[in-house]
Amino acid sequence: MPIYMLSVHHSPDAPPPAPEEMQKAFEQVDAVNTEMQKTGTWVFGGGLYSPEIATVVSRKDGETVMTDGPFAETKEHLGGFWIITAPDLDAALAWAEKASEACMGPVEVRPFQDDTEA
Protein backbone atom coordinates (compact mmCIF):
# COMPACT_ATOMS: atom_id res chain seq x y z
CA MET A 1 0.00 0.00 0.00
CA PRO A 2 1.38 3.48 -0.81
CA ILE A 3 2.89 5.56 1.97
CA TYR A 4 2.30 9.31 2.22
CA MET A 5 3.66 12.15 4.29
CA LEU A 6 1.13 14.73 5.45
CA SER A 7 3.11 17.76 6.56
CA VAL A 8 1.83 20.70 8.57
CA HIS A 9 3.21 24.11 7.66
CA HIS A 10 3.39 27.16 9.91
CA SER A 11 4.40 30.73 9.19
CA PRO A 12 6.84 32.20 11.71
CA ASP A 13 5.42 35.64 10.84
CA ALA A 14 1.90 34.70 11.90
CA PRO A 15 0.87 35.73 15.40
CA PRO A 16 0.73 32.78 17.79
CA PRO A 17 -2.75 31.43 18.43
CA ALA A 18 -4.43 32.15 21.73
CA PRO A 19 -3.92 29.44 24.38
CA GLU A 20 -7.52 28.23 24.05
CA GLU A 21 -7.09 27.90 20.26
CA MET A 22 -3.88 25.89 20.76
CA GLN A 23 -5.66 23.61 23.24
CA LYS A 24 -8.50 23.11 20.74
CA ALA A 25 -5.98 22.21 18.02
CA PHE A 26 -4.20 19.74 20.33
CA GLU A 27 -7.48 18.02 21.15
CA GLN A 28 -8.54 17.90 17.49
CA VAL A 29 -5.18 16.50 16.38
CA ASP A 30 -5.34 13.88 19.14
CA ALA A 31 -8.74 12.82 17.77
CA VAL A 32 -7.39 12.52 14.21
CA ASN A 33 -4.37 10.58 15.50
CA THR A 34 -6.68 8.16 17.33
CA GLU A 35 -8.84 7.71 14.23
CA MET A 36 -5.77 7.05 12.07
CA GLN A 37 -4.48 4.50 14.56
CA LYS A 38 -7.85 2.71 14.83
CA THR A 39 -8.17 2.43 11.04
CA GLY A 40 -4.60 1.17 10.53
CA THR A 41 -3.68 4.28 8.54
CA TRP A 42 -1.16 5.60 11.07
CA VAL A 43 2.52 4.74 10.63
CA PHE A 44 4.10 7.60 12.56
CA GLY A 45 3.49 11.23 13.38
CA GLY A 46 4.77 14.04 15.51
CA GLY A 47 5.25 17.74 16.03
CA LEU A 48 8.56 19.49 15.63
CA TYR A 49 10.31 22.20 17.61
CA SER A 50 10.91 25.56 15.93
CA PRO A 51 13.52 25.47 13.13
CA GLU A 52 15.70 28.01 14.97
CA ILE A 53 17.01 25.17 17.16
CA ALA A 54 17.88 22.96 14.18
CA THR A 55 21.42 21.97 13.26
CA VAL A 56 22.26 21.49 9.60
CA VAL A 57 24.93 18.86 8.84
CA SER A 58 26.66 18.99 5.48
CA ARG A 59 29.29 16.46 4.40
CA LYS A 60 31.33 17.16 1.25
CA ASP A 61 34.80 16.15 0.11
CA GLY A 62 35.57 14.49 3.43
CA GLU A 63 34.69 17.59 5.45
CA THR A 64 31.73 18.04 7.77
CA VAL A 65 30.24 21.46 8.39
CA MET A 66 27.56 21.99 11.07
CA THR A 67 25.59 25.21 11.21
CA ASP A 68 22.89 26.44 13.55
CA GLY A 69 19.40 27.28 12.45
CA PRO A 70 17.15 26.17 9.66
CA PHE A 71 18.52 24.88 6.37
CA ALA A 72 16.47 27.36 4.36
CA GLU A 73 15.09 30.79 5.11
CA THR A 74 11.45 30.47 4.10
CA LYS A 75 8.10 32.08 4.78
CA GLU A 76 6.84 28.82 6.27
CA HIS A 77 8.40 25.91 8.12
CA LEU A 78 7.49 22.33 8.85
CA GLY A 79 5.69 22.19 12.18
CA GLY A 80 4.79 18.50 12.25
CA PHE A 81 3.86 15.56 10.11
CA TRP A 82 2.12 12.23 9.77
CA ILE A 83 3.35 9.20 7.87
CA ILE A 84 0.32 7.20 6.74
CA THR A 85 -0.61 4.32 4.50
CA ALA A 86 -3.52 4.85 2.16
CA PRO A 87 -4.82 2.86 -0.80
CA ASP A 88 -4.46 5.85 -3.14
CA LEU A 89 -3.94 9.60 -3.34
CA ASP A 90 -7.64 10.34 -2.93
CA ALA A 91 -7.68 8.53 0.42
CA ALA A 92 -4.53 10.37 1.53
CA LEU A 93 -6.12 13.69 0.54
CA ALA A 94 -9.20 12.83 2.60
CA TRP A 95 -6.96 12.31 5.64
CA ALA A 96 -5.21 15.61 4.88
CA GLU A 97 -8.59 17.37 4.96
CA LYS A 98 -9.22 16.01 8.46
CA ALA A 99 -5.67 16.86 9.51
CA SER A 100 -5.89 20.41 8.16
CA GLU A 101 -9.15 21.05 9.96
CA ALA A 102 -7.75 19.57 13.18
CA CYS A 103 -4.51 21.55 13.23
CA MET A 104 -6.15 24.63 11.73
CA GLY A 105 -3.53 25.07 9.02
CA PRO A 106 -2.42 23.84 5.63
CA VAL A 107 -1.31 20.23 5.19
CA GLU A 108 0.81 19.14 2.24
CA VAL A 109 0.46 15.57 0.91
CA ARG A 110 3.42 13.86 -0.74
CA PRO A 111 3.85 10.21 -1.63
CA PHE A 112 7.03 8.37 -0.80
CA GLN A 113 8.98 7.19 -3.81
CA ASP A 114 8.22 3.60 -4.76
CA ASP A 115 11.35 1.41 -4.92
CA THR A 116 9.92 -0.26 -8.04
CA GLU A 117 9.88 3.04 -9.98
CA ALA A 118 13.67 3.18 -10.44
Q: Give the C-alpha separation, 43 to 83, whole Å.
A: 5
Lowest pLDDT segment from 27-41, 47-61, 100-114? 47-61
Q: Are 68 and 55 in contact (CB under 8 A)?
A: yes
* CA-to-CA separations, 68 to 6, 22, 54, in angstroms, rounded: 26, 28, 6
Output the pLDDT for position 69: 76
Q: Give the C-alpha separation, 22 to 26, whole Å.
A: 6
Write out pLDDT tens, residues 37-76. Answer: 999 999 999 998 888 888 989 999 999 999 887 766 767 7
All structural domains of the chain? 3-113 (3.30.70.1060)
